[in-house]
Structure 1
Amino acid sequence: MSFESFESFNPPTRLLMGPGPINADPRVLRAMSAPLIGQYDPAMTACMNETQALYRDVFRTKNEATLLVDGTSRAGIEAVLVSLIEPGDRVLVPVFGRFGHLLREIAERAGAEVHIIEVEWGEVFTPEQVETAIREVRPKVLAMVQGDTSTTMCQPLEEIGGICRAHDVLFYTDATASLAGNVLDTDAWQLDAVTAGLQKCLAGPSGSAPTTLSPRAVECIRGRAHIEAGLVGDGHDAGRGVRIRSNYFDLSMILDYWGEARLNHHTEATSMLYGARECARLLVNEGMDQAIARHALHGGAMTAGLSAMGLELFGDQRHRMNNVVGIYIPDGVEGEVLRRTLLDDYAIEIGTSFGPLHGRIWRIGTMGYNARRDTVMTTLAALEEVLRQAGVSITAGSGAGAAREHYQQKTQQTAQQTPERTHV
């Protein structure tokens, strides 16, 4: 192979309407092109402090320990689990999709005794199911996904934090796919650790994992660090007091890197920091309630359009995420062939699925920068055309028409709910 023939990589323009990643907001990309500075430059540490403050608002928390883990959303997951879990700890993972299995695998690699409970894909857990399992397993950590894009379901968490506190269980949730598109209230719901990624509702590229830790979680992590340093006595059970098994993902050191001590742990991914800060700044300026309402509006329009085209929605729609919907692939249609046609003819990407849903459903996202009316209408019109080419009987314009009606209804409802201003 002759490398002399290689030119700069010029990726094709795509409209990414799958379950993530999505098209990054141009303002985020511009922020990432800013000049690099040293990691202890006062401007750099000020940027880090501002980023922490912004993400406290995004996570709806007062947690001082709110920071970025450099790496994709999976880096945040692994950092939390390897830092909380010691070998032999019991961990309970309720699994309702692919990413519950990911939490199980990471916890097992950290040496945990992992117990799982499962529901059929397309369903979620009740608080009673979770509490029953906690009583039986008596775990140190409950690890649970909020929004699982493999099934499009959003697990209700409001009551589970209180259950965990009552049983002295640390509660971690993976909010990669749900944060900023669905309600997540870290403090009110008593969540001990939450991690996310930029590449979905936060409207950025993959590569940074916003993370927040409650004082209880920090105490657990700091306790392990003190054991490693020989600052507490022995008396632990066999296998206890084992040092955090990762250097890169050791949150005790990452906390010191982001905290006042500014102890060197790694060289911050500066451009990703700029991008993550801009993602949070845009959301906070929009308002978190408004951002969630935007995802609900456009996700609802997409769902209305797909239903009007005669496509069957997947899963319990009472618990579908605002930002992604699953639809069964119509009989007689080759799912991957149609996805490729949509990509080749219209430069639009939608998602396939995994595990028991592989080859059965497509997943269509309306999230982040792509949670807009024009992307919804364009996707519905293009999907209708390729489905008709594949022999599916669809009334012309039904999808886009239903989406338009959805927008009109929501506009009217908003107008009725907004009090008229009195002009003086």
Structure 2
Amino acid sequence: MEKWMGGDMHPSYRILMGPGPSNVHYRVYQAMSNPVIGYLDPQILACMDEISEMLRGIFQTKNQVTLAISATGSSGMEASFVNFVEPGDVVVIGVNGFFAERMTQVASRCGAQVIRVDQDWGKMIEPEKMVKALKEHPEAKICGVVHGETSTGVRQPLEEIGANCKKGSTLLVVDAVTTLGGYDVKVDEWGVDVCYGSSQKCLSVPPGLSPITVSPKAMDVLRSRKTKVQSFYLDLLLLEKYWGEERVYHHTAPVSMFYALREGLRIVFEEGLGARFRRHEVLGDRLKMELEGFGFKPFAQDGYRLPMLTSVTIPDWADDAKIRSRLLNEYNIEVGGGLGRLKGKIWRVGLMGETCKLRYIHCLTGALKEILS
């Protein structure tokens, strides 16, 4: 125990330009310092109501079941499959990156028969390929896609896929962990049935919550299950009773994180969604231009590059680990490396939420000039 009895911990301030988390607004930290109160206290219930209403705005939906799961973004993915998949169900998943691959693993663990629609990492999946797979498997309960693939920096168009799912019983499940709060996520317009995100990327709240919204169509499927949801903690029927009018105890809510999310969402709407999305787009383009000037080449498919996460191939002459280590240790700048099969091959540079500022681009480019000179 003695080694844990040292002085206070004072982590260095970092400019978080990796794939997440992003830097946190000081008002969010201030909100987190408010007193902890009970999980059924009228004041925290009012806070939860405000969170739900603002999340509907972020997701651009009227879904009544719109809440924040008390766990990280991965819990949103788990909840999106564990609630709707029963053993033997057919699930069609578009796979073009690390987190789409994880979707297949989660669905398989729920007992699903997974139909993969594979695409090269770094490219978007042609919507026609997804529609073709759905037509070949009309019995599919779920169609799963990642809107913004964090491992590659690719944006996936959803409109055509959603229009097809609207015509039948298949539920469209979308991972918006990277895009939520930094790019349009039009749940109702695009026909998305289940959509989840995270608190720590474009919303610029510390990690620990996963916003999720569920359509009436999906809730009907959930209520008609033949078996109980395998996870008690992620059971949306139980969470609905806690977040909804019944206010039935489900778990001890992380009220400090609820304070944080409420404040983070308020900051989003003070800026305005349109202005926020434009900021990410303009500065994302600027970052891409600056990195190309150093010899880094865009990795993601042209026309489908995420504004808040830029992926670039590492030049042959560059020492990936050494440069990123110097950026972190000498300049306090975090930049993400490649994930999975792209380890050592690309960088993933984030401009998310609070980190999406011109001065941070200048910090990175200035540091790179010194390191590479």
Alignment TM-score > 0.5, same fold: yes
Instruction: Map 1:345-360 to 2 at 5 A.
Output: 345-360=330-345
Helix, strand or coil at the partner of 1:351:
strand
In the alignment, structure 1 residue 71 sits paired with structure 2 residue 56: no
Q: Using the TM superposition, name which of 282-291 and 93-102 deviates more.
A: 282-291
Helix, strand or coil at the partner of 1:22:
coil
1:157-182 CA-partner distances (Å, limit 9, x unpaired): 12211111223210010100011212
Contact in 2 for aligned 1:87/1:242 (Cα 8 Å): no
Contact in 1 for aligned 2:40/2:249 (Cα 8 Å): no
Q: In the alignment, which residue of structure 2 is the partner of 1:231?
A: none
Q: Using the TM superposition, name which of 293-302 and 4-13 deviates more.
A: 4-13
1:6 CA drift (Å): 2.2
1:7 CA drift (Å): 2.3
Amino acid at match of 2:187: T
In the alignment, structure 1 residue 307 sits paired with structure 2 residue 292: yes
CA distance in structure 1 between the aligned counterparts of 2:368 and 2:93, rounded to whole angstroms: 37
User: Aligned pair in 2 of structure 1 residues 343, 108: CA closer, same or farther (>3 Å)?
Assistant: same
CA distance in structure 1 between the aligned counterparts of 2:314 and 2:118, rounded to whole angstroms: 25
Instruction: Map 1:250-399 to 2 at 5 A.
Output: 250-388=235-373
Contact in 2 for aligned 1:90/1:114 (Cα 8 Å): yes
1:77 CA drift (Å): 1.2
1:288 CA drift (Å): 1.0
1:4 CA drift (Å): 6.0
1:233-254 CA-partner distances (Å, limit 9, x unpaired): xxxxxxxx12110110111100
1:66-102 CA-partner distances (Å, limit 9, x unpaired): 1010000011111121001111111111011000011
CA distance in structure 2 between the aligned counterparts of 1:274 and 1:162, rounded to whole angstroms: 36
1:309 CA drift (Å): 2.5
CA distance in structure 1 between the aligned counterparts of 2:7 and 2:232, rounded to whole angstroms: 37
Contact in 1 for aligned 2:122/2:300 (Cα 8 Å): yes
Q: For structure 1, list consecutive stretches of 5 or more residues without a partner in the other structure.
A: 225-240, 389-424
Q: In the alignment, which residue of structure 2 is the partner of 1:13?
A: 13
In the alignment, structure 1 residue 219 sits paired with structure 2 residue 193: no
CA RMSD of the aligned region, Å?
1.2
1:302-345 CA-partner distances (Å, limit 9, x unpaired): 11111222321112121011101111111132211111011111
CA distance in structure 2 between the aligned counterparts of 1:219 and 1:167, rounded to whole angstroms: 14
Q: In the alignment, which residue of structure 2 is the partner of 1:101?
A: 101
Q: In the alignment, which residue of structure 2 is the partner of 1:194?
A: 195
Q: Using the TM superposition, name which of 181-190 and 304-313 deviates more.
A: 304-313
CA distance in structure 2 between the aligned counterparts of 1:92 and 1:218, rounded to whole angstroms: 19
1:248-293 CA-partner distances (Å, limit 9, x unpaired): 0111100111111111111111011111111211112211111111
CA distance in structure 2 between the aligned counterparts of 1:14 and 1:196, rounded to whole angstroms: 23
CA distance in structure 1 between the aligned counterparts of 2:365 and 2:116, rounded to whole angstroms: 38
CA distance in structure 1 between the aligned counterparts of 2:283 and 2:346, rounded to whole angstroms: 20
CA distance in structure 1 between the aligned counterparts of 2:65 and 2:343, rounded to whole angstroms: 39
User: Aligned pair in 2 of structure 1 residues 4, 68: CA closer, same or farther (>3 Å)?
Assistant: closer
Any runs of at least 4 consecutive aligned residues in structure 1 with deviations exceeding 6 A, and if so which?
none
In the alignment, structure 1 residue 172 sits paired with structure 2 residue 169: no
Instruction: Map 1:19-34 to 2 at 5 A.
Output: 19-34=19-34
Structure with greater Cα Rg: 1
Q: In the alignment, which residue of structure 2 is the partner of 1:141?
A: 142
Q: In the alignment, which residue of structure 2 is the partner of 1:227?
A: none
CA distance in structure 2 between the aligned counterparts of 1:385 and 1:184, rounded to whole angstroms: 39
User: Aligned pair in 2 of structure 1 residues 4, 323: CA closer, same or farther (>3 Å)?
Assistant: closer
In the alignment, structure 1 residue 131 sits paired with structure 2 residue 131: yes
User: Aligned pair in 2 of structure 1 residues 5, 49: CA closer, same or farther (>3 Å)?
Assistant: closer
User: Aligned pair in 2 of structure 1 residues 339, 220: CA closer, same or farther (>3 Å)?
Assistant: same
Helix, strand or coil at the partner of 1:161:
helix
1:41 CA drift (Å): 1.6
CA distance in structure 1 between the aligned counterparts of 2:245 and 2:292, rounded to whole angstroms: 53
Q: For structure 2, list consecutive stretches of 5 or more residues without a partner in the other structure.
A: none
Q: In the alignment, which residue of structure 2 is the partner of 1:205?
A: 206
User: Aligned pair in 2 of structure 1 residues 8, 222: CA closer, same or farther (>3 Å)?
Assistant: farther
Helix, strand or coil at the partner of 1:317:
coil
Contact in 1 for aligned 2:124/2:304 (Cα 8 Å): yes
CA distance in structure 2 between the aligned counterparts of 1:187 and 1:69, rounded to whole angstroms: 20
User: Aligned pair in 2 of structure 1 residues 340, 4: CA closer, same or farther (>3 Å)?
Assistant: closer
CA distance in structure 2 between the aligned counterparts of 1:6 and 1:108, rounded to whole angstroms: 45
CA distance in structure 1 between the aligned counterparts of 2:370 and 2:118, rounded to whole angstroms: 38
Amino acid at match of 1:254: L
Q: Using the TM superposition, name which of 306-315 and 347-356 deviates more.
A: 306-315
Helix, strand or coil at the partner of 2:81:
helix
Amino acid at match of 1:221: L
